[in-house]
Structure 1
Amino acid sequence: MPHCIVEYSQNLEQEVPPADLLEAVKEACIASTLFSVEDIKLRSFPYKSFLTAGKEDAFVHVILRMLSGRSLEQRKQLSHLVLEALTQFSLKDVSFSVEVCEMESDTYVKKVVLSQ
């Protein structure tokens, strides 16, 4: 059930297609054995304007939003797997970061509306 949100500096699109970043995150989530492939939701957001330490340095930041209930060790393993997957790309002068956020099971609601 994770919602995987890949934020990245738009200048990286010349080097790595966003779909490849999403695929790397998905494969890391599968490798964690915490989720089944059909439960993984992925999306990406490019940033046209960005500053890191006062200058336009490239970045990739992944937010993994998942329902509460996983142990700290499981969440740490997941963030390390995602970071490792991202650093497999031959990118230089890029800041990579991964953040795991827990969503409260009691307040999370979902409804899928299908066409008839």
Structure 2
Amino acid sequence: MPHCILEYSQNLEQEVPPVDMLEAIKEACITSNLFSVEDIKLRSVPYKSFMTAGQEDAFIHVMLRVLSGRTPEQKKHLSHLILDALIKFSLKDVSFSVEVCDMDRDTYAKKVVLSQ
């Protein structure tokens, strides 16, 4: 845990490789001291089509899905660490947002299937 999902407007790939943004998110998660390195899962989803108020506006949105039990202060600190890490790319005319969502521990299920 966490599942870090980076959503972004595809036009930003010309300025910052998505893998660089994922690395920045990972480092922010490590800095938070809330997760072990081996537990951090990262993925990205580019959007070819996107609009805000009828206009094509560049954006970066990160959703972190974490198991429930962390305090609001911990989640707020985590979201600000990630936001700060992404802003360091010095992109212009981009909307940045980060949200931390709880996954219920009682209903979360996981199974890793390895080859034999």
TM value normalised by structure 2: 0.99
Residues 7-42 of structure 1, C-alpha deviations (whole Å, 9 max, x = no match):
000000000000001000000000000001000000
Which residue in the other structure is 2:10 paired with? Answer: 10
Which residue in the other structure is 1:48 paired with? Answer: 48
Question: Identity, % of aligned pairs?
Answer: 79
**RMSD in angstroms over aligned alpha carbons?**
0.5
Q: How does 1:78-93 map to 2 (within 5 A)?
A: 78-93=78-93
Q: How does 1:9-88 map to 2 (within 5 A)?
A: 9-88=9-88
**Secondary structure at the residue paired with 2:115?**
coil
Residues 55-98 of structure 1, C-alpha deviations (whole Å, 9 max, x = no match):
11100000000000000000000000000000000210000000
Unaligned runs of 5+ in 2: none
Distance in 2 between residues matched to 1:20 and 1:52, nearest whole Å: 25
Distance in 2 between residues matched to 1:96 and 1:32, nearest whole Å: 19
Unaligned runs of 5+ in 1: none
TM value normalised by structure 1: 0.99
Distance in 2 between residues matched to 1:90 and 1:77, nearest whole Å: 21
Q: CA deviation at 1:54?
A: 1.9
How many residue pairs get aligned? The number is 116
